[in-house]
């Protein structure tokens, strides 16, 4: 019956991915240094899974559903972001798209935070 229990797992996941996107933005999309590799790979995998059913991680089911419904990027844009993360492309459009993902994710994280904690 717990709101805290119910939200806290979901909140932790939103927080984690919100942070991952910001880490990549901070490091710079063109930065392919080894210490950013893990973050990039995880994000690229998540974005790729939004396009097709292959390579899906069941633990990310809720996040995938939420992102697919609330971040209105086309399949081509998700695919482009995923490839940019692996290849290190950092053109303006890609950075803008990633910033849009970061903004939406963090906004929702804040909303869940207030649902969990109460205003």
Sequence-separated (6 or more) residues with CB below 8 Å from residue 7: 112, 115, 116
Nearest Cα to Cα of residue 84 among 20, 31, 19, 34: 31
Stretch that binds another protein, among 9-17, 36-44, 71-79, 82-90 (CB under 8 A): 9-17
Residue 22 binds another protein (CB under 8 A): yes
CA distance 21 to 3: 27
Per-residue contact track with another protein, 30 to 69, x per CB under 8 A?
----------------------------xx-xx--xx--x
Nearest Cα to Cα of residue 105 among 15, 27, 41, 39: 15
Residues 102 and 21: beta-carbon distance below 8 Å? yes
Stretch that binds another protein, among 39-47, 71-79, 80-88, 95-103 (CB under 8 A): 95-103
Give how many residues touch another protein by CB under 8 A. Answer: 37
What residue ranges bind another protein (CB under 8 A)? 1-10, 12, 15, 18-19, 22, 25-28, 58-59, 61-62, 65-66, 69, 99, 102-103, 106, 109-110, 113, 115-118
């Amino acid at each position: 019956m717990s709101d805290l229990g119910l939200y806290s797992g979901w909140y932790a996941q939103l927080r984690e991915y919100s942070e991952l996107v910001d880490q990549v933005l901070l490091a710079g999309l063109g930065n392919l240094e080894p210490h950013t590799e893990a973050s990039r790979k995880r994000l690229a995998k998540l974005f790729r899974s939004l396009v097709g059913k292959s390579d899906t991680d069941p633990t990310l089911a809720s996040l995938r559903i939420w992102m697919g419904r609330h971040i209105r990027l086309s399949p081509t844009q998700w695919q482009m972001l995923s490839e940019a993360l692996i290849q290190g492309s950092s053109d303006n459009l890609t950075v803008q798209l990633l910033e849009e993902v970061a903004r939406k994710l963090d906004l929702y994280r804040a909303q869940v935070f207030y649902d969990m904690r109460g205003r």
